[in-house]
Amino acid sequence: MHFHLAQFQPLVGAGFTVHTSHGPFILTLVEAGEAPRRGLPERFRTPLSLIFDGPPGVLLAHDSYRIGHPAIGEHVLDIAPVLGASATAPGMPQYQILFA
């Protein structure tokens, strides 16, 4: 599936279920945005970045996980931890999904 920013903007603030070997966790989408194209040829998609707040006390490793939301269905996507503090919830881990 080819994702677009318009699919995720209305979902900011919504919870997405991530299935892990330790059970399901909820990640909250806090930011959806496109990265600058910086001369990227038109035949390539505009990079899309999704930032999520994770639950306290849980740190997911950079890996591929099954993630779902009723608006987009379930997909196996690469989720990476983001270094630094969450701007929306200090002390909470953050994660990024990048579509380039």
Largest CA distance in the chain: 42
Cβ atoms of 67 and 79 closer than 8 Å: yes
Q: What is the CA radius of gyration of the chain?
A: 14
**CA-based nearest residue to 62, from 78, 83, 86:** 78
Q: Which residue is it, tokens 């909820």?
A: 26
Give per-residue pLDDT as tens, 1-19.
Answer: 689 899 999 999 999 999 9
What pTM was estimated for this model as a whole? 0.88
Neighbours of 95 (CB within 10 A): 22
Three-state DSSP state, 9? helix
Q: List, in sequence order, the alpha helices (H) in 2-86.
A: 5-8
Whether pLDDT at 27 is above 70:
yes
- Of 43 and 27, more confident: 27
The confidence score (pLDDT) of residue 87 equals: 67
